[in-house]
Structure 1
Amino acid sequence: MLDTIVAERPVAQDVSVPGLGGVAGADRAPVTVDDVAMFTGRLESGAPCVFEATRMAWGRKNAIRVEVNGSTGSLAFDFEDMNVLHLYDASAPATEQGFTRIYVTEADHPYVAAWWPPGHGLGYEHGFVHQVVDLVTAVADGEQPRPSFADGLTVQRVLDAVERSSQDEGRYTTTGTTGPVRHTEGES
């Protein structure tokens, strides 16, 4: 399901200060993006998954939340609390059950050499720095950088299937094995 809740928004106007982008003006224009996207799917392993993205969640600043639930526990990450992982270990004794907060700024983290001393919080910008380090390191080592173009194409195929499913009253839609399935008249 895809939905646009706000039909029009203010148009950004130029400002005279370089690098600041635009500011909202009085003019309005139609919105051409979705405000809400919700879909279910299956991973390659067959495990079911649920995805939700919205601009319309009051109180959220940038809650990119990922939660994985399995047969032996759960793991959750929320971008608004980006220095912490939440782990539930179902194999722990009943007296120790509950989510454990794991701080990811300790000395054994793979990127710690580029950070402040262990225990200091990380910010939004560190994620971009890590991406650059990974890219440059992979290129220098002669390895395929990850994510790759193929990974990006896979994401685009999923997004295309979500859009086609939404246009077809939410019917199950596959990504296809070689890409989105689109046939126009006269093609075989």
Structure 2
Amino acid sequence: MTPQLWIAVGFTALLIVFLMITFFIKDTSSATQYKTLRFLTSFCGGVAGIFFAGEALISYSKGMADGTKLTLSGTAGFAVFFILWLTYGHRPDDNAPPNIKMSFPAGWTFEQCAKAIGKSQNSPITFSSFSQEQLDFKLPQMDINAEDINQALNQLKHYIDGTFSYTILQNDGVYTIKVIEG
């Protein structure tokens, strides 16, 4: 084994150890930390590619959504760096569902509002132990602004004037609203 190959193996081992540590620590809560992790991962991969391949040329092409084509070419280390940089996954927070912002006119029933909230996020809503009178309870005009479905459904409590009380259970994306007896 040549000294260059030993250095390449060392950088590859460093990359593996680095990724294992970052996987178990999971301290990528801020955008800056995540960008640093993305750069360091790409950099270590690129340096390992430089020492393994040396002068080998690599070309990478990717079609964009608007029809343009992105093409990169360079030495193996350069190419590995950019391939890792471009294909690195998104932070989980980047894929979070948007806030729920809905307006309901006066006269909508409790059942209609709850089902509309669920439908806006593609989550089924079921009802347990409700009477037809409770489901048909007419609500005043209202605006809902919530972080998630659970919070949005809980905001409906402010408009039922204590007529009945309920709890929300979630199981595999299905929300069940259950009347609290009493």
TM range (shorter): under 0.3
TM-score norm. by structure 2 comes to 0.19
Name the one with the larger helix percent. 2
If asked which structure has higher relative contact order (CA below 8 Å, sep 6+), I would say 2
TM-score norm. by structure 1 comes to 0.19
Name the one with the larger strand percent. 1
